[in-house]
Chain A
Amino acid sequence: MSAAWEVVIGLEIHTQLATRSKIFSGAATAYGAEPNTQACLVDLGYPGVLPVLNREVVRMACKFGLAVNAQIAERSVFARKNYFYPDLPKGYQISQYELPIVGAGELMIKDDNGNEKRIGITRAHLEEDAGKSIHEGFAASSGIDLNRAGTPLLEIVSEPDMRSAGEAVAYMRKIHSIVRYLGISDGNMQEGSFRCDANVSVRPRGQDELGTRTELKNLNSFRFVEKAINYEIERQIDLIEDGGEVVQETRLYDSDKDETRSMRSKEEANDYRYFPDPDLLPVVIEPAFIEQVRSELPELPAAKQQRFVDEYGIRNDDADILTVSRALADYYEAAVGAGKSGAQVVANWVIGDLSAALNRDGLEIDSSKVSAVHLAGLLDRISDNTISGKIAKEVFDAMWSGEGTADEVIAARGLKQITDTSAIEAIVDDVIAANPSQVAEYKAGKDKLIGYFVGQVMQKTGGKANPGQVNQVLKSKLGQ
């Protein structure tokens, strides 16, 4: 990317709120049901039906607002966004327009150089999701599944404060982490519970005026956000440098081809004819309600990260990683609490072997095959010298495969470290006898060969000898 250009990015993140029932009806919100089995007459937009606001979504939106230091509107208004589409049963979407429930807020992220950066949040508003049009499996027609119609969404709109795809992803990850901490969304991106639109523009560095932006629609993974934005930045810069102009339009990212392409231009954009929905009263929120919600807020990622550094003395970056999700942080704290090893050792294992195993099997921390208590049990066997760190990896893999606790695996596989000095001495004697030339060299001053001898002993013991002990015995036998 040319250093002459500055990139400007703003995100609109759509978060599905984890309510049991829909935002304006009593129908269930569970994902994956048979088409049109979770849509009641209200969701289907039948003649005469009326929406009734689900109280829980108001509480969830307030939680989010408080978590990003935003103003909660004392009075917010639902508005109708009018457009025709088969998966939009009423011919309008109930959303919020002029008076959203959450006003201006902010969030701190790490920029590409690892420095703290403030990203402004313009607003967050409540709205209902539409249904789904299904084009596969129908010959000359399309299917409509209205199960998703009426599912509550919180749309979080950022200021155009991000300057790279990396920052955009960092911001999106932070929001993802917060909504999951708050328990207001499962954040499941495959199921579309967390997705975003990115507004991207470029301008010559130093220019105040914003360039013409394009909107990239429906990005549903962190990787796609990064790739789509980077593609779009390149496209816009190339276009301008070749003497062209960026057209304000909506573009779609094609992940197969890794490119964005035009969906509709500004001229083709709908006039949504927003107006306050006369079927719903304004949402009035009392200060007492806000205080109650505030008192129920969990510890948020930033506070938890700081606490981990202060309380456990672990590395800053490790604390960042461990606090990405509440479940991971809880796991970590449970493991620290259950054992006697140092907090940094636990952190190394959680971030290292445990995360690797989870990734390999595509599991979330909640379904880890090794519990926090069992991991602590394993690490205790390292610190009490029952096994070496190296053997511990083998034990961990066995535990992951379901062979039991660390102690059970150690016993069953006979992995207990050899700490009996006479047994180690016997093996050391064998090694010295079998390698006369190396012994001679060593004695002649080639100190580095000590590693060779240790390796030989370890090999003979199947790695079970205590390395420190071996070292000591070797040195005394070799006369140093």
Chain B
Amino acid sequence: MSDLHLKTLTEIAAGLEAGEFTSLEVTESLLDRIDSSDDTLNAFITVTGEQARATAVAADAARAAGKAGPLNGLPLVHKDIFCTRDVLTTCGSRMLENFVSPYDATVVERLNAAGVVTLGKTNMDEFAMGSSNETSFFGNVRNPWDIERTPGGSSGGSAAAVAARLAPAATGTDTGGSIRQPAALTGTVGLKPTYGRVSRYGMIAFASSLDQAGVITRSAEDAALLLGTMAGFDERDSTCIDHPVPDYSAALQQSLDGLRVGIVRQHFDAGLDDQTGKAVREALAVLESQGAVLSEVDLPNIGLSVPTYYVVAPAECSSNLSRFDGVRFGHRANDASDLFDLYCRSRGEGFGDEVKRRIMTGTYVLSAGYYDAYYLKAQQVRQLIADDFRQAFADVDVIAGPTAPTPAFKLGDKTDDPITMYLNDIYTIGANLAGLPGISTPCGMVDGLPVGLHLVGPHWGEETLLRCAHQYQAATDWHTRCPEAFR
């Protein structure tokens, strides 16, 4: 059974159900893969082999006892932003280098209750701030398609692990594109649900009004399988909405006949790489051939999404990260001379450059005298962008376009230029600002590197997005491509 690692989550579920192999066998196989490949990729911060084996054994026993639910014994990995009880939870930062969480995030708790086997915690940009995984205190993650390149970020470890077949699925979080962009850059499927669909409790906050948990998988089918368990009301998160959770898998088979797909005029501009644009247009043609009706939509204010985001997100992060003060947990500087020194040095040593940049930006835009000009203005623009989407969704069911402007770029290419780096999320940020669901699915290759098709839906439009991606995947094989070195 040397090809267990090549199976998708759905295939593993079927195999377990049919008794072809056990959860422990799949777990061992993947732990071996991680062991042999992760030195190259650096996708993991923590591998939880021992716990994984124990959970797999328990899952196999549950199955033998006839108590296996649909996710029982399925392996996956968590982005290291989710708190996992008794396991290191670093958020990619020196600040939490030694932080062992005393509790499980709601997402983790729900998946655990469903019997999943957690293989480990994946690398990420520090506190999810980055688009290339280069801001991690634990070193950058490499893209399995070309190890000189970035896997994207901030959920880069999750995306690389899934792309390299070290895990069939991973959780991720998306504040401005942190699930969808790395999915696009690694040829995986990345789903960011509607804001409020999945509980944020236990997910270390970057920008509370934008953060949303989701998944990175190898198919829309797999994403649907996981989302059903992760989604739903949680009384511990006031922003989690009590909205019914449908059977996401049930809707996948419906055809695209008559599906109204909007193409954003502004998304095919000068910033888009030609070859990437071509691949996306070809994907749109496939959707059309499947019965979708294409039309152009206008998002007049979408061009303001990056600057808006880079006011709102830093503002929230500057406050969210204040709790890391060296007093109760996390990094504490030695021999502080007084309280102020303790704060300055603990935070100075514990945080990396990008995090500091955003804390400073956020502190600035919230300061007396600047609040109205920056934070308040940004919130107003955010409302305009959300209104643009609302109007667009009066005419279309889905908005389609590129996920990222280019395929994976070289490590180190953009680290000196934050603005260019920020522009990598130009197509994804709008969905976060408007709280909308989005999915990226592989739609082509450019010079041996994957390209992603980005689909955005109205609030609670996950079913439509998953169905659209699934039907597209049924007609294409981009999502099945595996990097040569990791077959």
Contacts and interface: CB of A to CB of B under 8 A. Distances in A.
B422 interface: no
Contact of A48 (B204, B319, B325, B375): B204
A281 B105 CA distance: 21
B30 interface: no
Contact of B322 (A44, A52, A82, A274): A82
A307 to B, nearest CB: 43
A51 interface: yes
Nearest to A272: B368
Interface in A142-173: 144
A44 B209 CA distance: 22
A50 B201 contact: yes
Given A90-B322, A91-B319, A52 B238 contact: yes
A47 B316 CA distance: 15
Contact of A84 (B239, B316, B322): B322
Interface residues of B, number: 45
A84 B238 CA distance: 25
A92 B321 CA distance: 10
Interface string A259-298: 0000000000001011100111100000000000000000
A89 B208 contact: no
B325 A47 contact: no
Contacts of B101: 46-48
A52 B234 CA distance: 11
A84 B343 contact: yes
Contacts of B327: 86, 89, 144
Contacts of B330: 47
Interface in B49-86: 82-83
B204 A41 contact: no
A49 interface: yes
A53 B238 contact: yes
B328 interface: yes
Nearest to B363: A273
Contact of A273 (B105, B319, B329): B319
Interface string B228-261: 0000000111110000000000000000000000
Contacts of B203: 48
A272 to B, nearest CB: 8
A275 B375 contact: yes
- Interface SS, B side: loop
A46 B102 contact: yes
A46 B375 CA distance: 26
A80 B237 CA distance: 17
Given A82-B366, A278-B209, A281-B238, A48 B322 contact: no
Contacts of B82: 48
B96 interface: yes
A280 B366 CA distance: 18
B83 A50 contact: no
Contacts of B91: 47
Contacts of A271: 367-368
Nearest to B105: A48
B329 A47 contact: yes
A273 B202 CA distance: 25
Given A44-B328, A278-B316, A51 B322 contact: no
B315 interface: yes
Contacts of B305: none
Interface in A72-95: 80, 82, 84, 86, 89-92
Contacts of A86: 325, 327, 339
Contact of A275 (B201, B204, B319): B319
A204 interface: no
A90 B236 contact: no
Interface in A28-69: 41, 44-53
Contacts of B319: 80, 82, 91-92, 273, 275
Contacts of A80: 319
B328 A89 contact: yes
A146 to B, nearest CB: 8
B486 interface: no
A46 B202 CA distance: 9
Given A82-B319, A89-B328, A48 B205 contact: yes
Nearest to B103: A41
A314 B236 CA distance: 54
Contacts of B343: 84
A279 B238 CA distance: 7
Interface string B395-408: 00000000000000
Contacts of B103: 41, 46
A49 B201 contact: yes
Given A45-B328, A275-B366, A50 B238 contact: yes
B121 interface: no
Contacts of B321: 91
Interface string B331-362: 00000000100010000000000000000000
Given A84-B325, A86-B339, A91-B319, A280 B371 contact: no
B131 interface: no
A90 B321 CA distance: 8
B481 to A, nearest CB: 35
A144 B102 CA distance: 20
B323 A278 contact: no
B192 interface: no
Contacts of B363: 273
Given A82-B319, A273-B363, A275-B366, A50 B200 contact: yes
Contacts of B238: 50-53, 279-281
Contact of A91 (B207, B237, B315, B325): B325
Given A48-B105, A89-B328, A273-B366, A278 B239 contact: yes
B328 A48 contact: no
Interface in A111-165: 144
Contacts of B209: 278
A258 B284 CA distance: 79
Among B203, B236, B321, B329, the one with the most A-chain Cβ atoms within 10 Å of its Cβ is B236
Given A47-B324, A52-B237, 20 more contacts: A46-B328, A47-B91, A47-B205, A47-B323, A47-B330, A49-B202, A52-B236, A82-B319, A82-B322, A84-B325, A84-B343, A86-B339, A91-B323, A91-B325, A273-B367, A275-B371, A278-B208, A280-B238, A281-B238, A281-B239
Which 3 A-B pairs have CB atoms at the shortest separation, nearest pair first?
A91-B322, A278-B209, A273-B366
Interface of B: 82-83, 89, 91, 96, 99, 101-103, 105, 200-205, 207-209, 235-239, 315-316, 318-319, 321-325, 327-330, 339, 343, 363, 366-368, 371, 375
6 contacts: A41-B103, A86-B339, A91-B323, A273-B363, A275-B315, A278-B316
